[in-house]
Amino acid sequence: MITDDPNDPRLKRGPSTEEGMNDVYLVLSEEERSKGFVRPLRRSYTHILCHTSTKMGLALCETYARDPHFYGFTYCYFCNTHFPVIEFNWDEDGMPVGS
Ligand SMILES: [Zn+2]
């Protein structure tokens, strides 16, 4: 699930160290995302620690492409928890996530 409302009460605050995916992830609004991407649209990233790739929903990918610094933490499918974005590389071009 995603929301573009920063005040959505289902959103977790700060770094999430709990296991599992969050119920809801914040994304930029469709209007904001439609203003144009400053990075290529990438669809998956690999966790450096476990070498496992995680694929994301389109709205999340578009949010990264519009604002590469939007997220501080991101989810690893294999580890089933969140880590700082610097621990991940984009599958498409090997660039660090969040840069
Ligand atoms: Zn992992």
Q: Look up tokens 């949010």; give the residue.
A: 63
Task: With beta carbons less than 8 A apart as the criterion, state whether 91 and 45 touch.
Answer: yes
Report residues near ion ligand 1: CB below 5 Å: 47, 50, 76, 78-79
pTM: 0.92
What is the Cα–Cα distance from 16 to 7, expressed in whole angstroms? 17
Task: With beta carbons less than 8 A apart as the criterion, state whether 89 and 74 touch.
Answer: no
| 86 Cα: distance to centroid of ligand 1 (angstroms) | 12
Residue 23, C-beta contacts closer than 8 angstroms, at least 6 positions apart: 1, 10
| 45 Cα: distance to centroid of ligand 1 (angstroms) | 10
pLDDT confidence band for 32 (50 / 70 / 90): very high
pLDDT digits (tens, 9 = 90+) for 42-97: 999 999 999 999 999 999 999 999 999 999 999 999 999 999 999 999 999 999 99
